Amino acid sequence: MQLYKSRGFGEYFQDTFAFLKQNGKHLFKHFFVINGIFLLILVVIGYFFSKFYTDVLFGGIMNGSTSAIDDYLNQNSGLFIFLIFVFIIVGLVAAVISYSFIPIYLKLYHQHDGKNFTATDIINAYKANIGKIFIFLLCSIVVFIPVAISAGILVFVLAITIIGILGWPLVIGAVSLFYQGTLIEYLDGKRGIWNSFGHSWSMMSSKFWAAIACVGLFYFMSYIAQNVIALIPYIFGMVNMFTDLETNTMQDPMSVQKTMTVMMIAIFLLTFLVSSILNVIVQLNQGVVYYSLKEDNENINTKSDIDLIGSGE
């Protein structure tokens, strides 16, 4: 599938799903290969946090203790601080690598005219662009201040009415497409970081409403899907817990605590996995939209076709 292709609102959706159908296996395989170790560490740490929440907080309530959290933190303060520190560091690294995965993947996809590249090629691309990714991260923090103020004011204005709240995904879509487009542009190597920010905004403005509406709707669908899927283990866990309460009538609080532990861990693991997959899909949609906007404004694919015709004469 061509990335540089002029598209309309409906084609943004169609080609995103078409890309997933054609290349989804290759895409997610390499996403988990590149990000797997970081995701695994986060899952393990998340497991301990979930277990802490259910064993200490809920277990203390079941046993009639009001100081369970204070007692646990006093006894394991060093371990708890260490886990929080590791979680923050690994989380930041994982977030940066995960966020830059789609721009790097799509760049290689275009260069190789398809999915004819390996995890080694992706890792080499990360190594070659590590400086740019770091610069993008620092500059994004600076740019985020005025962007956050503007988006916050707009969200507040929209929140005045219920109908206005429905416009929140458009604000999220605009901000996310602006940043994703900037990283794609910067990794392309033709512009500096500040010019990339400006060019990203210029590309968005050319088909502003169609672009941000598509990205915003993908965010909204992702949010709904993630919450619906997370409800499944929660519902089963609550049903099982109330069944235990009815049969045991609180005679065995440990069985209720065990149910809560299993439920919390299941919700965390499922939500984490689904969130990772949906984030890739949302970012892929942003990539499809942005490459389409570049084709509309720069005629990259059209120029390539003309060059090929000229070389054959």
Q: How far is CA 25 from CA 28, 29, 177, 277, in A?
A: 6, 6, 24, 12
Select from 115, 127, 112 the least CA-distant residue to 34. Answer: 127
Are 288 and 13 in contact by the 8 Å Cβ rule? The answer is no
Tokens standing for 132? 């740019």
Residue 2 identity (one-letter amino acid) = Q
With a threshold of 0.85, does the pTM exceed it?
A: no
Over its length of 313 residues, how does the chain's per-residue pLDDT go in tens digits? 888 888 888 899 999 999 999 998 999 999 988 888 877 777 777 767 666 666 665 555 555 555 555 666 666 667 677 777 877 887 788 888 889 999 999 999 999 888 888 999 999 999 999 999 999 999 998 998 888 888 888 888 887 877 777 788 888 889 999 999 999 999 987 888 999 999 999 998 888 888 999 999 998 888 888 888 777 766 766 666 666 555 554 445 555 556 666 666 677 777 778 888 899 999 999 999 999 998 888 887 765 544 444 444 4
User: 182 phi and psi, to 5 degrees?
Assistant: -60, -45
Domain boundaries, the chain: 11-296
Residue 252 identity (one-letter amino acid) = D
